[in-house]
């Protein structure tokens, strides 16, 4: 079974993947399953929101629609959930393995560093896709069981649309893991960047001065459930994937130069 670094990494990630699949799937199912109950609130779900807040959260989506509900309850948090998974596993990929002193033994094998990093990246990517497939399946199941009036295929695609955001974060996380000696430092920096850019993007609707800068936030390019109400903006997808690819190249370069002392 363990024939290469890819399979070994997947094996190591199996419990994390399972835990995230179960946890996020239950959450997604519950959110969809609960929609008929919460949508029956008199005046609609978001009737009390100020116009500016409503615009920021919902855009052109009708406040009493299931799409609005999902935007606030599900899609807004998907990047954060997947970020938690990616911060944990990318920081472990290089800095964590170096810290536990197994990296030296691995690299003493006839396997190039770029290949090690690539196989680890592919395994993490696989894990992320599996988690999102499980979440999408659970959401679709919840919507179907509860009889929510939604295009189930579009619902599933909307949840999978978090993957481009995950790709940039995968690249950035691997770069920090390869660049910094300490797993803790790598994780803290990635966490700081994720949280600060998330806040930047969220607050830019309320603080005019931030509007200029929110395009530097990866969350700005996240679809927020766009496929459910329209089409995916492929430019945004391209920017996120491109950023991930650039950080992946930087990660390889950092890893090549890394001195493995453990």
Partner 1 sequence: MHACTHVLILRVWDMKGPSTVATESVLVTSKLTKRFKKFVAVDTLDLDVRKGEIFGFLGPNGAGKSTTIRMLLGLIRPSSGTAHVFGKDIRKHGNEVRRNIGYMPGELALYENLTPMQLFEYSGSLYGVHDTKFAVTLAERLAVTKLNAPIGSLSQGNKQKVGIVTAMLHRPYLAILDEPTNALDPLIRHELYGILQDAKDEGMTIFLSSHVLAEAERICDRVAIIREGKLTRVGTVEELKAIAPRRMRISFDEYVPIDKFQGLPGVTNARLEDGNDRVVELLVRESMDEVVKIASHHPVNDFRSEDISLEDIFLGYYEAGGTTLTIADIAAGSDNASNGASSNSTTTATSSNGRGGVAK
Binding mask 6-25 for partner 1 (x = CB under 8 A): --x---x-------------
Provide the minimum distance between the beta carbon of 18 and partner 1 in the complex, in angstroms, as a whole number.
Answer: 14
**Interface with partner 1 (CB under 8 A), residue from 36, 48, 104, 147:** 104
Query: In 10 A of CB 59, how many CB atoms?
Result: 14
Q: Which is nearer to partner 1, 108 or 231 (CB)?
A: 108
How far is the C-alpha of 130 from the C-alpha of 90, rounded, in Å?
Answer: 16
| Residue 146 vs 260, nearer CB to partner 1 | 260
Please state the closest distance from residue 261 (CB atom) to partner 1, in A. Answer: 7
Q: Please report whether residue 230 would count as binding partner 1 according to CB under 8 A.
A: no
CA-wise closest residue to 155 among 132, 126, 127: 132
Q: Which stretch binds partner 1 (CB under 8 A): 106-114, 149-157, 177-185, 221-229?
A: 106-114
Nearest residue to 110 via CA among 5, 8, 249 = 5
Token pair belonging to 218: 């990866």
CB of 113 to partner 1, least distance (A): 9
* Best CA proximity match to 138, nearest among 24, 237, 242, 53: 24
Q: Which is nearer to partner 1, 103 or 143 (CB)?
A: 103
Q: Which of 47, 53, 102, 196 is close enough to bind partner 1 by CB under 8 A?
A: 102
- Please select the residue that binds partner 1; options are 40, 51, 108, 212, rule is CB under 8 A: 108
- Would you give the distance in Å from CA 194 to the centre of its chain? 10
**Residue from 105, 129, 145, 199 that binds partner 1 (CB under 8 A)?**
105
231 makes contact with partner 1 (CB under 8 A): no
What is the rounded CA–CA span in Å between residue 243 and residue 230?
24
**Using the rule CB under 8 A, is 101 a contact of partner 1?**
yes
- Three-state secondary-structure class, residue 46: coil
Name 122's Cβ contacts closer than 8 Å, sequence gap at least 6.
6
DSSP letters, 59-86, are TTS-TTSHHHHHIIIIITTHHHHHHHHH
To which residue do tokens 């855009």 refer?
59
Chain contacts with partner 1 (rule: CB under 8 A): 1-5, 8, 12, 100-102, 104-105, 107-112, 259-262
């Amino acid at each position: 079974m363990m024939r290469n670094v890819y399979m070994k990494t997947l094996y190591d990630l199996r419990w994390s993947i399972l835990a995230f699949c179960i946890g996020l799937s239950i959450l997604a199912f519950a959110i969809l399953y609960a929609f008929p109950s919460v949508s029956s609130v008199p005046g609609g779900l978001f009737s009390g929101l100020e116009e500016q807040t409503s615009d920021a959260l919902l855009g052109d989506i009708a406040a009493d629609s299931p799409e609005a509900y999902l935007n606030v309850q599900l899609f807004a948090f998907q990047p954060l959930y997947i970020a938690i998974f990616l911060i944990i596993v990318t920081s472990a990929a290089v800095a964590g393995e170096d810290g536990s002193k197994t990296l030296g033994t691995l690299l003493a094998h006839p396997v190039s560093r770029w290949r090690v990093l690539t196989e680890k990246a592919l395994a993490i990517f696989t894990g992320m896709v599996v988690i999102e497939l499980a979440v999408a399946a659970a959401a679709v199941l919840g919507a179907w069981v509860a009889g929510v009036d939604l295009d189930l295929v579009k619902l599933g695609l909307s949840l999978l649309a978090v993957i481009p955001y995950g790709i940039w974060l995968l690249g950035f996380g691997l770069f920090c893991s390869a660049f910094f000696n300490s797993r803790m430092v790598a994780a803290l920096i990635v966490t700081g960047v994720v949280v600060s850019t998330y806040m930047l993007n969220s607050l830019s609707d309320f603080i005019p001065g931030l509007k200029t800068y929110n395009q530097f936030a990866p969350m700005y390019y996240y679809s927020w459930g766009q496929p459910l109400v329209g089409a995916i903006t492929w430019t945004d997808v391209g920017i996120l994937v491109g950023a991930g690819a650039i950080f992946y190249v930087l990660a390889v370069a950092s890893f090549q130069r890394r001195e493995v002392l453990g």
